[in-house]
Amino acid sequence: MTSERDAMLSRLAGGSVDVLVVGGGINGAVAAAALAGHGVQVALVDRADFASGVSSHSSNLAWGGIKYLESGEWRLVRKLCLSRNRLMDAFPSTVREIRFFTSIQRGFRMWSVLVWLGALLYWLMGNCRMSAPRFLRRKTIIAEAPVINASEVVGGLEYSDCYLFDNDSRFVFNFIRRAMDAGATAANYTEVTALEFSSDQQHWQVSLRDCEANRDLQLTAKVVINATGPNVDRLNATVGVDTEHHHLLSKGVHLIVDRVTPLAKVLTFFASDGRLFFVIPMGPKTCIGTTDTQVARAEVSVSNEDRDFVLANANALLELPEPLTRDDIIAERVGVRPLAIAGADTSRDWVQLSRKHQLEIDDDRHFISIFGGKLTDCLNVGEELVAAVSQLGVITRSPEQRWYGEPDATDRRRFLERAQHLALDELTEDGVSEPLSLRFWRRYGNYANELLDTIGEHPDKAKLVIPEAEYTHAELELMSRREMIVHFDDFLRRRSKIALVVPGRSLRKESTLRGAARLLFGDSAAAKLAEYLEG
């Protein structure tokens, strides 16, 4: 049987599209979803897996950027708060409110009352959509969050923002899935190797390489969107596109360790370097970070210095039974923030740089570059790109339905009624964190109906496949059909967060993964499993 990826590559080969999106991180994903939703013929390619760049290394937060109040970026904060609210309304089961429990240490650059007033302003700027902030006295912090080392704490505050329930990369993939459902062509492991603009024909001649089969494809596109995140400048240089904006890159590291507190809140501190430091619940684990180090290249890895910075801060700020050591690290996340900067002056203090995104349009060569941005701001990026593409002469039409968001309440109700009729939740295995029906709906939207069909016929397919990971047989079959999983890591690290929460010593075993390999890869199971275990 032809895989969906093969079918997509066949469509690309020798074809022509209105718009080619290069890069399948959040910016590329929303570009494809918004354009496809507006009737544009769009193709998206990523040289690795979708969301394998920065978009799988974020803090998983959809937030209004409270910290930018300090640098007086009122408009940015207001915009991000409204973007967060829109995401929350559009993705009610994925983008969820969470409380941020912030403690202020003695000697901090601002009084805690002032910080609290900032949180109040922040709440107002978000149209009071979240629960109201509250001022925390030292004794309240000690009583409610005994895990916090209160020896130097003078007070604090609690306020709300949002987090992405499953993970950032799954959130991104769901935009790509939606784009494909609206007619877009998308392929992972497909690199753009050459781009040449023909002034006569007013289109781009694109050379692509299918990195899996090592074969070259040709395509023409009226417009090209460079959504390669930290690699935007590099691709622009290759193509000879000059831009006013460029990127400064800042490395951010998170470490994942066993759960340090049962408190389902983000603990927020100011680290030893004065910047924000988070202790974030991540399913059965805790994610701690982050660092903020300026780097010259997009390719980064976690150094011992990074690990020690994060661990030292966690140990100083938390009251733990035993200090965390490198041996406690279950998984690591490392990415670079692409920060947009006007001009070529790279001597600016990057910490002060705005997190605003910036589109640059080359009208003559029909080329759009996306600089900076955040997951939180993604809907605005999608909409601005539709306007930009239309400015370049591509015909767009008003969508019949919203190009983003979970299916509507009627679809959800129908799904839940069907699930109830099947007594699906009674098949939820012991010790699992939530009922099957809620989990299926959040992860797969209307595709969850296919799971009901499968489990209705074969109730045993509601059984979990990998110990400690909440994925059923039926889900893996569905993911194998619908989620363009080419390598094991695509499933374990990006469509799911299994590789982040299940320690490698129990996960990276033939006996643990054999069943999953068979469901995901069929005849190629043994080879894909060996590739993962040897990798």
- Kindly tell me which of 385 and 507 has the beta carbon lying closer to ligand FAD: 385
Residue 243 DSSP label: -
CA–CA dist 100, 70 (Å, integer): 17
> How do strand 215-226 and strand 367-371 relate by DSSP bridges?
parallel
Structure tokens at 499: 């590789």
For ligand FAD, the closer CB: 162 or 330: 162
Q: Which is nearer to ligand FAD, 28 or 39 (CB)?
A: 28
Pairing of strands 185-187, 42-45: parallel
Closest CA to 102 of 231, 217, 268, 245: 268
- Dist. CA 328–CA 255, nearest whole Å: 9
Separation between Cα atoms, residue 308 and residue 310, nearest integer Å: 5
Minimum distance from residue 80 beta carbon to ligand FAD (Å):
8
Rounded CA gap, 77 and 512, in Å? Answer: 45
How would you classify the pairing of strands 134-136 and 245-258? unpaired
Residue closer to ligand FAD, measured from CB, 37 or 338: 338
H helices of 126-195, in order, are 138-144, 168-181
Kindly tell me the sign of the dihedral angle through the C-alpha atoms of 115, 118, 122, 127.
Answer: positive
Pair of tokens at residue 29? 């994903």
Q: Which is nearer to ligand FAD, 61 or 330 (CB)?
A: 61
- 365/463 with CB nearer ligand FAD: 365
Specify the residue, 404 or 440, whose C-beta has the smaller distance to ligand FAD: 404
Q: How far is the CB of 236 from ligand FAD (least distance, A)?
A: 11
Helix, strand, coil percentages, rounded to 5, for the chain = 40, 25, 35
Taking the complex as a whole, the smallest distance from the CB of residue 194 to ligand FAD amounts, in Å, to: 10
Which residue type sits at 235? L
Write the CA distances from 489 to 48, 210, 237, 296, 531, integer angstroms: 11, 18, 31, 27, 10
C-beta of 152 vs 244, nearer to ligand FAD: 244
CB 60 → ligand FAD: shortest distance, Å?
Answer: 6
Nearer to ligand FAD, 175 or 471 (CB): 175
| Shortest Å distance, C-beta 280 to ligand FAD | 9
Q: What is the token pair recorded at 246?
A: 């460029």
Least distance to ligand FAD, CB of residue 491, Å: 16
**Please, which residue, 129 or 412, has the CB nearer to ligand FAD?**
129
DSSP-derived secondary structure for 304-332: HHHHHHHHHHHHHHB--SS---GGG--EE
C-alpha span between 127 and 136 (Å, rounded): 22
The C-alpha atoms of residue 64 and residue 84 are separated, in whole angstroms, by 6
Cα 435 from Cα 443, distance rounded (Å): 13
Residue 39 or 289: the one with the smaller Cβ distance to ligand FAD is 289
CB 216 within 8 A of CB 62: no
How near is the Cβ of 419 to ligand FAD at its closest, in Å? 31
Binding site for ligand FAD (CB under 6 A): 22-28, 45-48, 52-55, 57-61, 191-192, 227-231, 235, 252, 290, 335-338, 373-376
Q: Could you tell me the smallest distance in angstroms from the CB atom of residue 372 to ligand FAD?
A: 7
Q: How far is the CB of 188 from ligand FAD (least distance, A)?
A: 9
Which amino acid does the sequence have at 119?
A: A
**What's the closest the beta carbon of residue 471 comes to ligand FAD, in angstroms?**
23
The three-state secondary structure class of 451 is helix
Shortest separation between residue 182's beta carbon and ligand FAD, angstroms? 19
For ligand FAD, give the closer residue by CB, 60 or 286: 60
Q: What single DSSP character describes residue 33?
A: H
Q: Report the nearest approach of ligand FAD to the CB of residue 50 (Å).
A: 7
